[in-house]
Structure 1
Amino acid sequence: MITILPSKVKLLHFPKSHLQHVTHAIVKSCLFRDINDEQYFFSFTENAYEVSIIATKDIIDNDFIPLLVMSQCLEMRTSNNLYRVLQVDDEGGQDTSGKRISDLSCPLAKSKFSIFYMSTYQTDFVLIREQRLNRAVELLKEHKFEFDQDSIEQFLGGSPLSLTQENNRLSILSESSAVLEEDFEKSVLTDELRCVGLNPHYRSDWSMTILKILSYPELISASSKSEETRFFSYTATSDGISLIANQAILNLFNQDAIFQDEESQTYRVIQVNLAGSNLDRCGIVWSISHPLATEASINLLYLSTFMSANVLVSSDDLGRAEKILAEDLENIKGMLAEIVLEPTME
């Protein structure tokens, strides 16, 4: 079941060296926003290449950007477009996430949609540019994906834009392509990660722990290793809070505060630096997930950030996944050199 969320989000990128300058924004976003508000959406991911924030427009524009501008953060980047969020719920959960990612991203890739995909403990999220939301919904319905009708009626007026209508509007726009010259840098962390949920009813108990993890990693013994190797992701909506972290970080929380399956999977993360190519170019999520999930039957979680793709697979599958991705990334590079950018609508 796919539900259109009311949230309108933007993406923000900045280097880890500027974390100290946005502490106030992080505190406000995580601890003082109403997490029960259906429009609330906040995601923080730190990996080897960046800090990436995906949050509602007011959080990005009013809380984070002024602080980064004040700190003269020249490396700050933000998306020009607003994105709408599709929430993807499936009975298979994390056990079938790889196939779900591949199946859902396939028609969107073939129809030239640039998407961001986020696997979390509770659900999956797909980010679609707001101006193309109607067509994305219609396309997925054509491929037999089931939608929550109430959300369609609320946000699309009950009738998504037809294919003919969108083609007519896109036909007058020029499409451009550019050769992608940079290589995709890839790194694999040694840490084993888990994807768990946080109990919102214990928010007062774990709020300071989250603040330290996000803004002051040097205060946490779990970060005694080089901070360059740290991977951590926190995603919160009105439906739940999800963490992807190593066991040392998870041990900082009381067991009552964490939701996890009795035999929860441990993951290794393959981080791919896309240098921001995923903002405009189509097919990256499908081109990475399809060879792994559909062709090699390797299950995975996928986490898009502003600059990178983060692919989480089991330790047992890591060797095969690395080999497949090594070949796959060369194919993606060639594909991106030829494929047109996602069409824009005026």
Structure 2
Amino acid sequence: MKTDNSAMDWLRIPVGDWVEAGLDWFKVAFDSFLDVVGFVMNWLVAELSDVLISTPFFLLIIVLALIGWLVRSWQFAAGTVITLTAIVAMGQWENAMYTLALVLIATIIAVAIAVPLGIWAARNDRVSAVLKPILDFMQTMPAFVYLIPAVIFFTIGFAPGVFATIIFSLPPGVRFTELGIRGVDSETVEAGYAFGAKPGAILRGIQLPLAMPTIMAGINQVIMLALSMAVVAGMAGANGLGKEVIASISTLNVSKGVEAGLGVVLLAVFLDRVTAALGAPGDFKHSLRAQFSRKRSAPASRPAAATPVAV
């Protein structure tokens, strides 16, 4: 049975047309600003990816393994060497470094925006009430939709990928930061005020340190969403594993798609474990840093013998 759409035309609200007109106006009104932002994002990702690619892969693997040892354990460091070597063996190292550079730049920018917004929302109920529906909208909007304004603003390349990744991965950082600040014991905060501490000192000395595990959990989620969006960003022409996945879909190349997908998974596992360890201080007990602290805590010298007193 066919539906007569003409009978419902009078109910139609041209939301899409309004949004398109708004994006076109924004593009024209802020063209110079968007050019600068696009240039900066392209330059940051390009420079970081050049550094990562120009560094010998075995040296970079050793550095990342040492980071894993410091923040977690030697077992994690060994796993890092194995997984990153697997990326090299699959011939996806250069693409993985492009993706890693895009994710790191997008994560740094997203965290720089999300943490202050989360702190503001935690300290102001009105700001929190305004941000909640906006964050809900950002989280539920399909990821592919973000590529439309990104490409309109920045054409193709790294810039639209970074822009879309920031927008898509931003909400968890804001939510977890607000949750962490609000979760700090009120009596502890009141004790700080009782000793004459100002709000800025309370935030830096009490709330942020106590909320850090929750904030790091939010940063972990930002990184995971950034990785998932980095693959979608391949449709906007951003080099990396995402572009390989898109190319494999268009050519039905199973081997290339599987290898690029595994590269994303292995990068995600490494970044997830590192950020999880940074957010859980207890995970440092088997790290190299803990071993050094135990050595420093050993008695440095024997106590001096008592000197007899002459009568």
Structure 1 length as normaliser, TM-score? 0.22
The structure number with the bigger radius of gyration is: 2
With structure 2 as the length reference, what TM-score do the two structures score? Answer: 0.24
Task: Tell me which protein shows more helix as a share of its residues.
Answer: 2
Higher strand share: 1
